[in-house]
Structure 1
Amino acid sequence: MLLGTHNRTVQKTFIGVPDADLEHPLGGMKIACLLTPDDTVDMILLRMMLFWFEFKGNLPAPIYAIPTEDYQSRISNPYRPEVKLIFREDYSDFLAENKLQRAVAEISWRLVNETSASINKTQANLIALRIKEVFAEGQGFTWEKGTLQVTYRDPLHGIRFSLFVASQAEAIRVIERVLEVAEVAFNEELISVSKTNKTYPVVPSTHEVYGKEVKGIRRRPLTDVRFYRAELHVYGLRSPIRLVDLHFSGESLV
């Protein structure tokens, strides 16, 4: 069962990468991640750790957080349901060689016409289907992050998010996709742009922290991020509803 389920997930992840093709940039990684009938238990564990932790980047990272119930209990008014799109940089030898975390991006908006009581699975499925059509085709929609901050504000429709992008045109391309899912018309007058004269190193330099040399934080990297998951957050639920998941790490609505 493990051979079938794990290898099927690997094949879906490495779409377009031929089997046993070491000439392809990801060929060696695919070979290393696929289980074989002759693998020992130790080898199976090593291959799975390589796939999920190194390539997929699922190794838990330290976070600042509070339990969901504690957070919700501190809110005087229950929040409107929130749709969240999550994007992440692909694995690369450059990241591994420089010990860099993958760049991530999140875009979210509120369903202002819904409440925790009114939202239901039928509506969630419709949202998931639109997200799948707009963002999950092929290997997933990608866009280019950068140093330019572009904010889109449309409070009437529960939309307010900022993007760090390579250009304003790239921001508009992403915003239009988001609004297509939200079924809201695009209005260029709702865009604000913030430029910076700061420069951000491709690879952060090291500095001393607590008596040790550590690498600095990677800020506003110029790189592509790819859609891989969408969630629906509803007040009163302890965990988000997974709408779409290209990560193949759990069940989703579509």
Structure 2
Amino acid sequence: MSGYFTEKSSTDTVNARIGDDVSPRLREVMESLVRHLHAFAKDVNLTQEEWEVAIDFLTRTGRMCSEERQEFILLSDVLGFSMLVDAINNRRPAGATENTVLGPFHVGGAPERAMGDTIVQDGKGESCLYEGRVLDLDGNPIEGARIDVWCDNADGFYSVQQPDLQPKWNNRGVFTTAADGLYSFRGIKPVSYPIPDDGPVGKMLAALGRHPFRPAHMHFMITAPGFETIVTHTFVDGDPYLASDAVFGVKESLIAEFKPHGGDTDWHCAFDFVMVQTG
């Protein structure tokens, strides 16, 4: 085979330049990337002008990145790529709680709270009692499971987005199960909110006729010795964006029922989490 480039032999020519002593996994990934990238350009007959638009888009995406914002991850999210990578790396048996994306607003070190405590620090929003169990696949309760929870406030912003307006640990907390595997805490009924859409990714969404909204959800990260970590959300049933989540994070099994509660609490959400043993 000639080492010179032609349209027909483009993939083979590029991949043939990879050295002999590179990592086998790097070779596998890059050869596949080149095959799919070249096949895409040939499939759509990509024009020079379209290539220049793509380069400009990627350049502007990079310039939008900072310590506080990662526009490339946002791009991955809205293309469904983040969810695909998460799904590939978190395949679980039937009955186990499904994963979804972590999102950019988790903060480590949230305060440990007693069961039944509130995570609401700003006094805003419709109150909600969250409770349920953490179980294994056989239905046995898991003791010592740490449940890290966080959500937006009633205005649709996370505490880290408004450090000068919200208390530091607003709508955040960590709870640890006892032998009965039960958890219980008070929060708010989350609200839907838009992902940042003032950059190139937002402009791309608009050009595609897509909205930037995420349906209302409560985040959960659940860890327990001997079990796979669960990173997931519970989504508010009836939210208008469930079937069109901008980052494709909704899975049907994660839609939770929010029932009117009465008394000193507006809503009640019961949801059990099922963990898979490691090894």
TM-score in terms of structure 2 length: 0.23
Larger Rg: 2
TM-score in terms of structure 1 length: 0.24
